[in-house]
A and B are shown apart, each in its own frame.
Chain A
């Protein structure tokens, strides 16, 4: 979400501290995933003051059958930075989806999205990621 491990850690600690405090006071919210929603808002708040990426038309490509090998060349940090540079709510959708911890209904709940929106954000995200991978690790058989 942030592309910055120091900031991420600060937000992680702040979120857990808040949760521990609430638990001690016995006023934990009853709704599901409030902790993740809280963490997401803290991340969005933290990046509000940062330099915002210019909104540019990004290239898109269909997901390639051999994309797996391209991903293998990628450094995890590069992927984290790429996702954190995406505009929200695409950033939230991609981060939550690729954590592989939540199903789509849970993501809809946490990121406060509709199914059609989440679907569009993920599909576009995949195509943009593929285009980025193609530019970074060009496949020899592709022209």
Chain B
């Protein structure tokens, strides 16, 4: 039964066998033709078909119809609209990637726009300020300005001076610790708006060893905290507060005489 059906199918394929070999792309057709290639009946059929196809090719195409094919823009290419281009998944994916990359570049550019020597350390210390609890510090009840002597005498830290803008504020506690680069950091907790002060070595030129100075106060921001940093005698001072620049700005204006 299966054999009969297969033979019937092969016969059906042979009746539809292409006139030229270029159309023998179909595997089943190729197989049917190769099996019947030598049969007289199939050879006659092929000769008959070829003769008729040659005759058909002699039918001339009217000039008016032939003109359609001489025109370059027979079918005008459909104009691509912005909408269709934007909806293209490839365009969408590339645009998203470009926007993300551009966003990262802009973010990095803007965040480094106000960079200054020591800004990276200052940002790290803002993170420390956010995670510090008062019990971690040695209780000290004094004016902040007086702690410079303590840092020098107890820890041997020279020029760890508190700027005059913050020297008069009362302290709650202080400590000296080493950061992950073994730099010695002094941290002071003030009672004033629970502000924290940091003193740390200023950055130096890697070749000459000279201190990389910068004038005035510079702001840094990290995790909701804002720091105002200044450098003096190779030591950076940072006042850190939870909030924005406007919360720190009033402390940085020189006191009126």
Contact = CB atoms under 8 A, between A and B. Distances in A.
Interface of A: 5, 9, 12-13, 16, 19-20, 23-26, 28, 62-65, 67-68, 71-72, 74, 76-77, 79-80, 97-100, 102-105, 107, 115-116, 118-120, 122-123, 126, 129-130
Nearest to A107: B16
Contacts, number: 110
B26 A122 contact: no
Given A9-B65, A65-B40, A118-B16, A126 B45 contact: yes
B20 interface: yes
Contacts of B16: 97, 104, 107, 115, 118-119, 122
Interface string B46-59: 01111111111111
B55 A23 contact: no
B40 A104 contact: no
Interface in B1-60: 9, 11-13, 15-20, 23, 25-26, 29, 40-41, 44-45, 47-59
B237 to A, nearest CB: 68
Contact of A122 (B15, B54, B59, B75): B15
30 contacts: A9-B62, A9-B64, A12-B65, A13-B68, A16-B68, A19-B75, A20-B74, A23-B75, A24-B76, A65-B47, A67-B48, A71-B48, A71-B51, A71-B54, A79-B56, A97-B19, A97-B49, A98-B56, A99-B53, A103-B29, A104-B26, A104-B29, A105-B26, A115-B12, A119-B11, A119-B12, A119-B15, A126-B48, A126-B49, A130-B48
A23 B76 contact: yes
